Structure 1
Amino acid sequence: MYSIASMPKPVDEKLKEILSSCETATIGHFRESGFIDPNIRSVLSKTRIVGTAITLSLPPTDGTLLNHAMRLVRPGDVLIIDRQGDKRHACWGGVLTHVAKELGLAGVVIDGMATDAESIRKLSFPVWSRGVSALTTKLSGQGGSMNVPISVGDVVVQPGDAILADESGVLVLSCDEIETVAVHAIELQEEEEEVLSRLSQGECLPDISGATSLIERVNRQT
């Protein structure tokens, strides 16, 4: 059976704009939660997307619902695909890449395999996966779910969550977290530029960061 829920409300465009200025690795300096398993990697060497999570849960060998989803998705959406533990069958390839590019999807994140990496790179379409495989899903009518909560890369993703993804990784945020997280990340990125400037003038990194003074303080307390 196929379970297809309503499409979620898109992430606010102003929030997407501010989040698009952030690097996932910057947010990783102050946040622990929401980061998808780093073994799910970008096929492209350099990319960054922000979009609205559209969730799919697909049986190992059945790609029927993913094909059907191409008539439902909207520009700026990010497909987040739970492969139900399958690490052999690629659910995403060259044809879907062409279709997704034409539809204006922001990207796709797969807790499993993709194929046709050359086509993905040629079209510069953002795809994150655990690797590539020649073995693919089929239109086998086994079932699946769309726009329900799923777990991808050890992170629970709700339909309508915000997705920030780049070559360093994939971050899932609820919409009410975006502004606070993004503002802090931008502040840190600006501070990093100041640190680089000070380093170029000959200062020592642990003096700037406070690492040396922290070690000395901890050692005095033991």
Structure 2
Amino acid sequence: MSLNPRIAPRRQRVDSALLEQYRSISSSTIGHVLDSGYLRGLRPLFEGIHMVGNVVTAKLRTPDGSILRDALLCSEPGDVLVIECEGDAECACWGELRTLAAMIKGLAGVVVSGAVTDVAALREHRLPIFSRGISALTTRSLGQGGELNLPVRLGEVQVHPGDIAVGDDDGVFILTAPQAQELLPQLLAKEQADRLRRAAFLARLMAKEV
């Protein structure tokens, strides 16, 4: 039976200047000052990832992945698609063709609370992707509804459209727009302090090796 999806308009709560500032901030720096917002159990699909973007949310119930077509259509360059998957955790909702479509749209990355597939191709294309696992079992376009640009929950974290996603090799944090604005000076200061300490440690190490 076909069901109508629940679709709300895309939201952007922060400007591009703030997003740009977060490109120099690592997830572990956020983890030094914030306990909430970390997406536990989600891992990057490959190394060398850095992802910052405005969040677009989608919710599906496997084995139906039809809402993701709407999600890709509504997304804009620089967005991060955050997907809550209900149902079979081994049923992958994201693979190579959706990755190529996301790259054409200019997405900054994809975060999936379930599994992904076509991993060799996904690693080759290098769109930042975070997931809970890998599977050959996949979703289908069954037209059984879903939700777009409404709040979703990934583990303990409720994610809203218009939040900021910051992800790298160490994982993903979700920040609300007010959090992102408030924490920015502290995070930039810590990044600078860590760079100075790292340089000092490396100088001492090099001196020791001479």
Give me the TM-score of the superposition, normalised by structure 2: 0.91
Q: CA separation in 2, counterparts of 1:96 and 1:89?
A: 15
1:137-216 map, 5 Å:
137-200=139-202
Residue in 2 that maps onto 1:57: 59
* Residues 94-173 of structure 1 mapped to structure 2, 5 A cutoff: 94-173=96-175
Separation of aligned partners in 2, 1:117 and 1:86 = 19
SS of equivalent to 2:39: coil
Question: 2:14 aligned with 1:11, yes or no?
Answer: yes
Q: Of 82, 93, 96, which aligns to 2:84?
A: 82
Compared with structure 1, are the counterparts of its residues 90 and 199 closer, same or farther at alpha carbon in structure 2 (3 Å cutoff)?
same
Is the 2:56–2:71 Cα contact (8 Å) retained in structure 1?
Answer: no
Q: Which amino acid letter does the alignment assign opposite residue 120 of structure 1?
A: L
State the identity as a percent.
35
SS at match of 1:58: strand
> How has the CA–CA distance of structure 1 residues 202 and 46 changed in structure 2, closer, same or farther, with 3 Å as cutoff?
closer
Q: 1:201 to 1:106 in 2, by over 3 A?
A: closer
Q: Which runs of 5+ in 1 are unaligned?
A: 204-222
Is residue 82–residue 152 contact of structure 1 (8 Å, CA) maintained in 2? yes
Report the Cα distance in structure 1 between the residues aligned to 2:181 and 2:151, rounded to whole angstroms.
23
Structure 2 residue 95 is the aligned partner of structure 1 residue 93: yes
> 2:121, 2:13 → 1: CA distance?
28
Query: How far 1:136 moved relative to its partner?
Result: 0.1
Normalising by the residue count of structure 1, what TM-score does the alignment of the two structures yield? 0.86
- Give matches, 1:16-55, under 5 Å: 16-37=19-40, 39-55=41-57
SS in 2 for 1:177: helix
Q: Which amino acid aligns with 1:148?
A: L
C-alpha RMSD over aligned residues: 1.6
Distance apart, 1:202 and its partner CA: 5.2
**Which contiguous aligned blocks of 4+ residues in structure 1 show a shift greater than 4 angstroms?**
200-203
Residues 155-187 of structure 1, C-alpha deviation per residue, up to 9 Å, x if partnerless?
Answer: 100111111111111111111221332221221
Distance (whole Å) between structure 1 residues aligned to residue 104 and residue 181 of structure 2: 30
Q: Does 1:71 align with 2:73?
A: yes
Give the aligned residue type for 1:97: T
CA distance in 2 between counterparts of 1:11 and 1:115 reads: 32
Which ranges in structure 2 are unaligned for 5 or more consecutive residues?
A: 206-210
Tell me the CA shift for residue 198 of structure 1.
Answer: 3.8
Tell me the matched-pair count.
202
Q: Which of the two has higher C-alpha Rg?
A: 1
